[in-house]
Amino acid sequence: MHPPEHTPRHRPDPAQRDEQMTLFAHGAHPTTTRTRLSRNERMALRLEQLADDWEEQAEQERAAGDQLTERRFREQARDARRSAALLRAGPGGVSRLLAS
């Protein structure tokens, strides 16, 4: 009888092991999941930013005493916010939004 080429090693039963070698550290670094915004949501955000800018310009015009330009900027801001709300409502929610 020939001696075995490899001497048998004592291997612990995997079910009895306390630890398991970690190949990937899932909890080491928090993963930042980037959710992609829809086209309508991106446009709504742009409209909100424009409305904020127009509100700031309206305040500057009010401080300067130009009531006509202030009113124009406030109307633009209001219209931009309404448009953003329509985009966010989607096709099914537009009728509800317009009815309110």
pTM beyond 0.85: the answer is no
* Domain enclosing residue 89, as ranges: 39-99
CB within 8 Å of 59: residues ≥ 6 apart: 70
Answer whether residue 95 is part of any domain: yes
Answer whether residue 53 is part of any domain: yes
More confident: 80 or 91: 80
**pLDDT single digits (tens) 18-71:** 566 666 666 656 666 778 888 889 999 999 999 999 999 999 999 999 999 999
Burial 12-49 (b: 16+ CB within 10 A, else e): eeeeeeeeeeeeeeeeeeeeeeeeeeeeeeeebeebbe
- pLDDT at position 38 is 87
Answer whether residue 30 is part of any domain: no
**pLDDT single digits (tens) 8-17:** 666 656 555 5
Residue 97 · residue 84 · CB < 8 Å: no
> Could you give the number of structural domains in the chain?
1
Task: Name the 3-class secondary structure at 59.
Answer: helix
- Tokens linked to 7: 């001497």
